[in-house]
Structure 1
């Protein structure tokens, strides 16, 4: 059941990815140049596209990363899974104070427009809590899911 909830949470977070058509090759030199410059050493790259965006899913230094580019090759946003030890200290401290009975199941780090946010899934004996955390430490509850 834990895996199902984690998968559903991740699916909800990345639901926008389902709107993209898979594209084996990218015929946009600006996007490819930007990707190769920004993510040197990326492997297992998969591309998806819409009318106005390209999305690359890849591995770099053992991290699963998703990067969004516009048609002009501008990097719009990135996301990656991180461990709880990689969260900023003020976020961890606030989580421990506000949710002492819950443990961290997974963390996704988002970077867009110069800001970093985190989507954190917590688990207790009776439910899961999905939070959005700002790098400044502010927390917002996105969902609470009761265990069956």
Structure 2
């Protein structure tokens, strides 16, 4: 199972790298740069990626010791962000519902997604026989996105 997760992670990275070309520390689209500098003051270790058509831009960076990914369109609009968070960063309704619904599961990782101002969380849970990928909303609503049986 760990091999499967590693393979899926590598495949995702390869697909992302083939879709977006690395464009170093800055880009020529001033609208995107202005939005980035306004939204993410204090960002460091910024790496930019662009689509071949220069229609979309992705910035990967660190802010307040957190790794963040931000997606922009060519007009400088911030489309979405994602970041890894810890369980202590989850809203109380989410962590409470997770503990009640999945008492024998361990949280392996949590990714917080923000799209058009709407926040959601993708949480990977593990027990002795399987992995579960659960989507959560700040109010506590949970839905299973995927289940993987351990080999």
Say yes or no: TM over 0.5: yes
| 1:108–1:6 CA distance, 2 compared to 1 (3 A) | farther
For residues 37-48 of structure 1, what are the structure 2 equivalents within 5 Å? 37-48=38-49
For residues 66-81 of structure 1, what are the structure 2 equivalents within 5 Å? 66-81=69-84
Gaps of 5+ in 2: none
| 1:20–1:66 CA distance, 2 compared to 1 (3 A) | same
- Secondary structure class of the residue paired with 1:77: strand
How far did 1:135 drift? 1.2
Q: Let me know the Cα RMSD of the aligned residues.
A: 2.2
Provide, for residues 25-64 of structure 1, a one-character-per-residue CA deviation record: whole Å limited to 9, x for no partner: 3111111111111111111111111131100000001100
**Separation of aligned partners in 2, 1:131 and 1:9:** 18
Asked if 1:23 is matched to 2:23, the reply is yes
Under a length normalisation based on structure 1, what TM-score does the superposition of the two structures give?
0.89
For residues 81-100 of structure 1, what are the structure 2 equivalents within 5 Å? 81-100=84-103
Aligned length: 147
How far did 1:106 drift? 0.3
| 1:80–1:72 CA distance, 2 compared to 1 (3 A) | same
| 1:101–1:11 CA distance, 2 compared to 1 (3 A) | farther
- Secondary structure class of the residue paired with 1:141: strand
